[in-house]
A and B are shown apart, each in its own frame.
Chain A
């Protein structure tokens, strides 16, 4: 065969292989979700395939989905954000205090909408502020992200306890509670919020210069610095984004629970990290997709609701989470190893058997 033709053909194959590699994780998650739905549908069709069940899933999913996206964005930049849940809690408290401070519980109509807008903006700003402090510690002071956010997690959590004195804050208007509990048609409003935020985030990550920079900084900070990227600036924006996402999650938390308290969602942190990794995010930086993380959230929620319907306990669901995470990681690692061995064979064809390009 002609050498250049061979090379061109080879690169085409390589591109195809790369595409499959990229989408393989997603394909596997889709298969996994389908299998979960199938199994539980066969076991308990009358409950699992009901509208109520899917609505329940839709209502439970957005909070943890947003927190997982927040975890994902810091992973892509090569860091980690352990403060996502405590940031979310600060935002939910902000919402609650704005409503309480303005005596909004009984408000309706225009004034309620005005106050609600104020509360939402305040909550998002609180998230951005918390994220900015993380960003400051990571990029300006130069603390390793895991430590910086470990410290701020403790700090934010502590501040929440100080402010609330350990008590739950009530007093939100009905119009706000609709956000976390209401539906449009039969689609939960909070799910729409998640989808909108997800699309915006996907555009930022995939289609903007900032997204490319975040990935570059995550893949190789030295290389990104030498290619003229201001790493500090990028990391600052990364953690602010994470904070804003956590802030939106906090809004949904407050709305769904109709209250805000310092200890809300304490089990969410490890779950959010698990989902981010399950969604194909590389915890060492450089790669992660919004779609993958959303899909992973859905997969775990499908398992969770199935476990509920089967009357399995939350403890058994915990086991399932762990098993799914490890199984996916192990499968990934095994696949990588097989591929890298193949690549090695290809790179040195004289050592091993001749390559068959038409594979």
Chain B
């Protein structure tokens, strides 16, 4: 980060390397961390670690894609974990209650569908009344969680339908290294596909550019002829869809369905997305940055374990790193940012940057 600021001749090249949302810095941090960990403990540089990190970040990445889209529009949705577990748990209950066998893909479709419906509820209220998503989703969190536990079920389900059980043991790669086998779960394929899809949507469609426009300045977006309510409605529906898929993935990987799952994880995912360069002031953020943010946090957790940091220190360490990461971002973009929320002054600058990102 320091050499970026100090060197003069290579500035333009380095600026490009740094990326519009500091993805470069993030990638650099990640590489340095991985190299350092490898030097401290050679065990770190192994296929097992890579697969482990991939497995532990897959679900978070799918959630984070939804969160990213919401944050780009300068809103915060805290209901996605509840939507995820609601969709997954109800699907498992539904499939269990049916006599006919249900394939894995239809199961995911059902979960995605339930997620979409819940997302539509959020979206309808937000789009109709133009109210802050944070407040509305705080309310729907209560309704969804309470509804799930009261009307669908509150019991832990230990054995999943056969199709999901089989899926949970399906691996893309199995690598045998020094006697121990490590596996990369097949879910990596849909996760990568979803990342590509969201990235294309964000950068190549009017809808995606509309999200950036709304985040930059909602009034300008309106005057530019975008149908803000329609975009918001479809946005929250897609967030619900992604959350439903993520929840189902989680349940499949865990091989259990626990309706109390995910309580309090919303802020962790939001933190990862913001660490990935998405601005809480709206109008900026990218899929690459988001994935890097999630992976960075997973690597940090993993490294702390490997370095023998007691597990009680984990949360404090993540907190410290989060504060340091955000502070570094803040100092890096000092000119754009001011204390407190001053959206009207600040929001104008990022939009111009993000447009250059599209044409890149």
Tell me the chain A residues, 277-306 only, with Cβ under 8 Å from chain B. Answer: 277, 283-285
Residue of A nearest to B142 (CB): A322
Are A79 and B142 CB-contacts (below 8 A) given A144-B280, A151-B322? no
> What distance in Å separates the Cβ of A229 from its nearest Cβ neighbour in chain B?
12
Are A231 and B319 CB-contacts (below 8 A) given A142-B334, A143-B327, A150-B270? no
B315 A79 Cβ-Cβ under 8 A = no
Residue of B nearest to A337 (CB): B129
Residue of B nearest to A147 (CB): B326
A82 B150 Cβ-Cβ under 8 A = no
Tell me the chain A residues, 144-178 only, with Cβ under 8 Å from chain B. Answer: 144-148, 150-159, 161-162, 165-166
Number of residues from B at the complex interface, CB < 8 A: 55
Are A150 and B322 CB-contacts (below 8 A) given A158-B317, A333-B129? yes
B125 A326 Cβ-Cβ under 8 A = yes
Are A158 and B318 CB-contacts (below 8 A) given A152-B323, A322-B146? yes
Are A153 and B134 CB-contacts (below 8 A) given A145-B341, A165-B312? no
Q: Classify the interface of chain B: helix, strand, loop or mixed.
A: helix
> What distance in Å separates the Cβ of B256 from its nearest Cβ neighbour in chain A?
20
Q: Which residues of B contact A333 (CB under 8 A)?
A: 129-131
Q: Within 8 Å of chain A (Cβ to Cβ): is B316?
A: yes
Q: Which residues of B contact A266 (CB under 8 A)?
A: 263-264
The interface centre, meaning the residue of A153, A158, A267 with most chain B CB atoms within 10 A of its CB, is A158
A325 B330 Cβ-Cβ under 8 A = no
Are A161 and B316 CB-contacts (below 8 A) given A137-B323, A322-B146? yes
Q: Which residues of A contact B142 (CB under 8 A)?
A: 270, 274, 318-323, 325
The total of Cβ contacts below 8 Å across the A-B interface reads: 175
Q: Within 8 Å of chain B (Cβ to Cβ): is A273?
A: yes
Residue of B nearest to A144 (CB): B280
Q: Which residues of B contact A166 (CB under 8 A)?
A: 312
Q: Within 8 Å of chain B (Cβ to Cβ): is A316?
A: yes
Contact flags A215-232 to B (C-beta < 8 A → 1, else 0): 001000110000000011
A142 B341 Cβ-Cβ under 8 A = no
Q: Within 8 Å of chain B (Cβ to Cβ): is A330?
A: yes
Set B131, B150, B331, B340: member contacting A319, Cβ < 8 A: B150
Q: Within 8 Å of chain A (Cβ to Cβ): is B320?
A: yes
> What distance in Å separates the Cβ of A170 from its nearest Cβ neighbour in chain B?
19
A142 B338 Cβ-Cβ under 8 A = yes
Set A77, A154, A274, A320: member contacting B322, Cβ < 8 A: A154
> What distance in Å separates the Cβ of A41 from its nearest Cβ neighbour in chain B?
24
Contact flags B116-142 to A (C-beta < 8 A → 1, else 0): 000000000100011110111011111
Residue of B nearest to A139 (CB): B339
A144 B140 Cβ-Cβ under 8 A = no
Set A154, A157, A232, A325: member contacting B135, Cβ < 8 A: A325
Q: Which residues of B contact A316 (CB under 8 A)?
A: 146, 150
Q: Which residues of B contact A326 (CB under 8 A)?
A: 125, 136, 139-140, 143
Are A285 and B139 CB-contacts (below 8 A) given A142-B330, A319-B146, A330-B125? no
Q: Which residues of B contact A232 (CB under 8 A)?
A: 339
Q: Which residues of A contact B10 (CB under 8 A)?
A: none
Give Cα A333 to B146, complex, Å. Answer: 25
B340 A274 Cβ-Cβ under 8 A = no
Q: Within 8 Å of chain A (Cβ to Cβ): is B19?
A: no
Q: Which residues of B contact A157 (CB under 8 A)?
A: 315-316, 319
Give Cα A146 to B327, complex, Å. Answer: 13
Are A329 and B318 CB-contacts (below 8 A) given A145-B341, A146-B76, A274-B138? no
Q: Within 8 Å of chain A (Cβ to Cβ): is B101?
A: no
Give Cα A78 to B281, complex, Å. Answer: 13
Give Cα A79 to B315, complex, Å. Answer: 24
Q: Which residues of A contact B132 (CB under 8 A)?
A: 283-284
The interface centre, meaning the residue of A147, A267, A313 with most chain B CB atoms within 10 A of its CB, is A147
Q: Which residues of B contact A313 (CB under 8 A)?
A: 149-150
Give Cα A60 to B139, complex, Å. Answer: 22
Tell me the chain B residues, 310-355 only, with Cβ under 8 Å from chain A. Answer: 312-320, 322-323, 326-327, 330-331, 334, 337-342, 344-345
Residue of B nearest to A324 (CB): B139
A285 B341 Cβ-Cβ under 8 A = yes
- New A-B pairs, 15, CB < 8 Å, besides A283-B132, A329-B129: A77-B340, A142-B330, A144-B341, A146-B76, A148-B326, A150-B270, A151-B319, A154-B318, A158-B316, A158-B318, A161-B312, A222-B345, A232-B339, A273-B138, A321-B139
Q: 15 A-B residue contacts at CB 8 Å?
A: A147-B274, A148-B323, A154-B271, A154-B319, A155-B322, A158-B313, A221-B341, A267-B263, A277-B135, A318-B143, A318-B149, A319-B147, A326-B143, A329-B135, A333-B131
